[in-house]
Structure 1
Amino acid sequence: MNTFVSGGPADSEPVTPVTALTAGGGELIIRLAGELDGTTAPALGAQLDSMVSVEPVRRVVVDLSDVDFCDAATVRVFVLLATALTGRGGALRIHGARPHIAWLLRRLGAGGLLSDPW
């Protein structure tokens, strides 16, 4: 497995929330941190799309252990990625979501993506 760590772009742009990325064997593990909202969602979506299209990724695990806040815009990014992966026989699982984020995912109909029971 290869491990990559990304830094954030210039101060004038939203910080990319991806802090670590591990890829290998058709699996991609992405660790996110900070606040995920409408400001970071477009960049996150684009980054995730490019990550899963670079190599044949079938399983994606998104680790939210270091995420303090998540809104509906980010949940939409996860749902769109999960739909794309499912369409090609893959899957997306969300790990480490704090209780308030797990609640939001369930409330918005994306609770099935959670790997942790709360």
Structure 2
Amino acid sequence: MSYPMTHAVWLGEVEVCTIDHLAEVSGLSVDEVEDLAASGVIWPADAAAQPRSFHLLHVVTVRQARRLRDDFELDSNGVALAMTLLRRISVLEQALSLHGPAGAGV
């Protein structure tokens, strides 16, 4: 029995990819990924470098953006707003988890 070889990549802040790669793995167009970058949902690894490169952690973000676009039939502004709100919720949840459950110590 043979097993196919796979290549794993850590989706973090060390490795970078092009905007074309983000579009390819997400199912978004390059213009849609550009819109996400312009709205601050994703950001280049080095703003001064050309061509722009993005940390691989944004692969998860652009895939989520594509799912939101498709599931809720959102335009680029709606996707950017939804992604911004989801990020804010995540930050608030992390802050709450640092302080323990609500009402503790009452």
Structure number with the higher strand fraction is: 1
Of structures 1 and 2, the one scoring higher in RCO (CA 8 A, sep 6+) is 2
Structure number with the higher helix fraction is: 2
Q: Specify the structure having the higher radius of gyration (Cα).
A: 2
Q: TM-score, normalised by structure 1?
A: 0.25
